[in-house]
């Protein structure tokens, strides 16, 4: 059994569900010496049920809700409500198939028979589409950087590790054809003949749905040898991930696909030069790819009119369990976060007051109530010490002590640091020790945060000090001195 201890599930019951599960099952989590051969209990960080947690997986059966311990112990029926979905834009892009019936493969057939890879790249460049996986890199520029070699591999990144985000799970489960068509179009734009979808192992249903969708696409003639009379063939495979947050980082993901540990490595070389098995490799997030069929069907200008002039298009935002109306909403980039929190989310459940709001997962940041007027763009969030990330919004109310939230942030960091570089490996553990001690930091701690932020190998270690400082800022007086 796998029980989620990540931020949205932590915020649901202030972390009390884990001892409840341990007591209901009579086992200790993550204890390899546990004498019961019938049950093994692992903690995991996010299962994609952040809207209805605390959540767990019993084998592949999801269980979610306040009585998750009873569900796992067989005293209540397992239940995991479907993701509530809504569009706030009036003309959904990535939800075009979840909420409508726009066939994503139609544009694929038209593209391979009538367009060139260069034309596809310039259309997507003109749309302004940037990656939705966190780094915000311009999509067409990454495609061009791979150089057009037929050895190129394009990988759909369905690792979705950010606690609080379940947008990619929604797309892979409810509209897998759109993700595949987007991947096929990306392959075409890169001159690639191989595509891969990596789905995290915590998403067993998404994995099954993606595999079925590949079979269907093949049977319908969208894949294989020269589909729709185009020049080149295309094969797409689906692979299960190995379960770690950092394995979603593109170099770690490539290492994992090659059979190694999911650890990040130094760049250059960039994956577009030397990636999977040394082939030029493009990694794109699932939500990024799901926007591509709409852009090519409706045209770059239609997409570029959406969002803001600097950051075009729409974004899926995911609201956590503490909201009165949790769920996944498609919004225009630039929508004020206050509107998302109050109008779409209905404020917090039971009339509770928002203390802090985590935006963009563990590498994003926290906003206090006074900052909620910030528009949902990378630029505006960065100016507030946060980041867009994958746009998961996790609300924390007043039932949780600020120091417990800080400790939770460091627990996540220490558990998920891949250990490949010492600033992050050592820094995350020192940060946790300090938060557990409850003694405010000294100058050495401040120096450690600085080193971690400057010298860590990947964005995990580099971003964490920012996330910690944003939490300290959001709580103001109540965490003064903890940011280093
Ligand atoms: C620690 C870490 C974890 C990441 N996890 C994910 C992930 O789960 N899914 C994802 O798409 N990108 C993730 N990324 C970003 C990827 O490295 C990469 O930028 C992204 O998949 C590229 O796709 P995009 O350009 O479409 O955004 C992660 C990055 C870091 C540093
Ligand atoms: S920063 Fe952390 S997660 Fe990234 S390579 Fe270093 S140890 Fe691994
Ligand atoms: S399911 Fe627990 S944080 Fe996402």
Alpha-helical (H) ranges within 75-175 are: 105-114, 117-127, 139-145, 167-174
Return the H-helix or E-strand segment holding 355: strand 354-359
CA distance from start to end of the chain:
38
Pocket test for ligand 2, best of 249, 251, 418 (most atoms within 8 A of CB): 418
Q: Provide the token pair at 191.
A: 């001159």
Q: Provide the token pair at 30.
A: 């993550």
Instruction: Say if residues 161 and 392 touch (Cβ distance below 8 Å).
Output: no
pLDDT by residue, tens only, the chain of 484 residues: 999 999 999 999 999 999 999 999 999 999 877 566 788 899 999 999 999 999 999 999 999 999 999 999 999 999 999 999 999 999 999 999 999 998 999 999 999 999 999 999 999 999 999 999 999 999 999 999 999 999 999 999 999 999 999 999 999 999 999 999 999 999 999 999 999 999 999 999 999 999 999 999 999 999 999 999 888 899 999 999 987 899 999 999 999 999 999 999 999 999 999 999 999 999 999 999 999 999 999 999 999 999 999 999 999 999 999 999 999 999 999 999 999 999 999 999 999 999 999 999 999 999 999 999 999 999 999 999 899 999 999 999 999 999 999 999 999 999 999 999 999 999 999 999 999 998 888 888 889 999 999 999 999 999 999 999 999 999 998 988 776 6
Return the H-helix or E-strand segment holding 312: none
Nearest-angstrom CA–CA distance, 390 and 385: 16
Strands 327-332, 85-87: pairing kind: parallel
Q: What per-residue confidence (pLDDT) applies to 31?
A: 86
* CB of 484 sitting under 6 A from ligand 1: no
Q: What per-residue confidence (pLDDT) applies to 443?
A: 87
Q: What per-residue confidence (pLDDT) applies to 35?
A: 63
Q: What is the CATH number of domain 2-73?
A: 3.40.30.10
Report the candidate in 420, 260, 447 with the shortest Cα–Cα distance to residue 430: 447
Q: What is the DSSP letter of 6?
A: S
* CB of 196 sitting under 6 A from ligand 2: no
Q: What is the DSSP letter of 82?
A: P
Report the candidate in 355, 285, 348 with the shortest Cα–Cα distance to residue 320: 348
Residue whose structure tokens are 């185009």 = 230
Instruction: Say if residues 164 and 19 touch (Cβ distance below 8 Å).
Output: no
Can you name the CATH fold of 402-479? de novo design (two linked rop proteins) (1.20.1440)
Pocket test for ligand 2, best of 251, 417, 452 (most atoms within 8 A of CB): 417
Instruction: Say if residues 146 and 192 touch (Cβ distance below 8 Å).
Output: yes
Report the candidate in 287, 244, 453 with the shortest Cα–Cα distance to residue 363: 453
Strands 392-397, 354-359: pairing kind: antiparallel
* CB of 246 sitting under 6 A from ligand 1: yes
* CB of 248 sitting under 6 A from ligand 1: yes
Nearest-angstrom CA–CA distance, 416 and 198: 19
pLDDT tens sequence across 248-270: 999 999 999 999 999 999 999 99
Q: How far is the CA of 344 from the centre of ligand 3 (A)?
A: 20
Find the ligand nearest to 290 CA. 1
Q: Is the pTM of this model over 0.95?
A: yes
Q: What per-residue confidence (pLDDT) applies to 42?
A: 93
Q: Provide the token pair at 79.
A: 């239940």
User: 315-393 domain in CATH 3.10.20.600?
Assistant: yes
Q: What per-residue confidence (pLDDT) applies to 484?
A: 65
Q: How far is the CA of 293 from the centre of ligand 3 (A)?
A: 29
Q: What is the CATH number of domain 85-304?
A: 3.40.50.11540
Angle between helices 402-416 and 459-475 (to 10 degrees): 180
Cα torsion at 49, 55, 56, 61 (round to 10°)? -50
Question: In a 3-state reduction of DSSP, which class is residue 154?
Answer: strand
* Nearest-atom index, ligand 2, CA of 456: 1
Residue 420 backbone phi and psi in degrees, to 5: -70, -25
Find the ligand nearest to 392 CA. 3
Q: Which residues contact 135 (CB under 8 A, 6 or more apart)?
A: 459
* Nearest-atom index, ligand 1, CA of 246: 1
Pocket test for ligand 2, best of 159, 262, 425 (most atoms within 8 A of CB): 425
Alpha-helical (H) ranges within 220-372 are: 250-257, 286-298, 300-304, 337-339
Q: Provide the token pair at 359.
A: 């935006």
Pocket test for ligand 2, best of 256, 263, 363 (most atoms within 8 A of CB): 263
Report the candidate in 210, 158, 49, 51 with the shortest Cα–Cα distance to residue 61: 49
Instruction: Say if residues 57 and 71 touch (Cβ distance below 8 Å).
Output: no
Instruction: Say if residues 188 and 120 touch (Cβ distance below 8 Å).
Output: yes
* CB of 363 sitting under 6 A from ligand 3: no
Task: Please state the domain extents for the chain.
Answer: 2-73, 85-304, 315-393, 402-479
């Amino acid at each position: 059994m796998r029980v989620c201890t990540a931020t949205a599930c932590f915020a649901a019951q202030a972390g009390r569900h884990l001892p409840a599960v341990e007591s209901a099952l009579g086992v200790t989590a993550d204890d390899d010496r546990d004498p019961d051969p019938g049950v093994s209990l692992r903690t995991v960080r996010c299962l994609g049920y952040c809207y209805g947690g605390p959540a767990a997986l019993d084998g592949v059966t999801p269980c979610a809700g306040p009585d998750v311990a009873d569900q796992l112990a067989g005293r209540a029926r397992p239940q995991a409500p479907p993701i509530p979905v809504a569009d706030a834009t009036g003309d959904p892009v990535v939800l075009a198939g979840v909420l409508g019936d726009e066939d994503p493969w139609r544009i694929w057939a038209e593209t391979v028979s009538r367009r060139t890879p260069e034309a596809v790249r310039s259309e997507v460049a003109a749309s302004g589409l940037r990656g939705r996986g966190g780094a915000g890199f311009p999509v067409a520029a990454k495609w061009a950087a791979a150089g057009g070699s037929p050895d190129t591999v394009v990988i759909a990144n369905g690792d979705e590790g950010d606690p609080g985000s379940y947008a990619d799970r929604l797309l892979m489960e409810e509209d897998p054809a759109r993700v595949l068509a987007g991947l096929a179009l990306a392959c075409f734009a890169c001159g690639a003949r191989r595509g891969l979808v990596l789905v995290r192992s915590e998403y067993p249903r998404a994995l099954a749905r993606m595999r079925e969708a590949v079979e269907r696409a093949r049977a319908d003639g969208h894949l294989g040898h020269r589909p729709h009379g185009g020049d080149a063939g295309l094969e797409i495979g689906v692979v299960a991930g190995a379960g770690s947050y950092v394995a979603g980082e593109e170099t770690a993901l490539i290492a994992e696909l090659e059979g190694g540990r999911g650890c990040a490595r130094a760049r250059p070389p960039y994956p577009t030069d030397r990636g999977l098995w040394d082939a030029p490799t493009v990694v794109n997030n699932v939500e990024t790819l799901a926007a591509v069929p709409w852009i090519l069907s409706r045209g770059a200008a239609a997409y570029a009119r959406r969002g803001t002039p600097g950051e075009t298009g729409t974004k899926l935002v995911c609201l956590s369990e503490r909201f009165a109306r949790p769920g996944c909403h498609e919004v225009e980039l630039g929508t004020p976060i206050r509107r998302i929190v109050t109008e779409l989310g209905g404020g917090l459940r039971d009339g509770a007051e928002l203390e802090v709001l985590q935006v963009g997962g563990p590498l994003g940041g926290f906003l206090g109530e006074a900052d909620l007027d910030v528009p949902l763009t990378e630029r505006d969030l960065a100016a507030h010490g946060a980041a867009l990330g994958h746009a998961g919004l996790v609300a924390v109310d007043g039932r949780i002590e600020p120091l417990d939230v800080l400790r939770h942030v460091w627990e996540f960091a220490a558990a998920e640091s891949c250990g490949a570089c010492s600033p992050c490996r050592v820094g995350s553990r020192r940060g946790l020790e300090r938060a557990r001690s409850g003694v405010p930091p000294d100058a050495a701690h401040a120096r450690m945060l600085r080193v971690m932020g400057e010298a860590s190998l990947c964005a995990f270690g580099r971003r964490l000090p920012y996330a910690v400082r944003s939490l300290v800022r959001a709580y103001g007086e109540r965490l003064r001195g903890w940011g280093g």
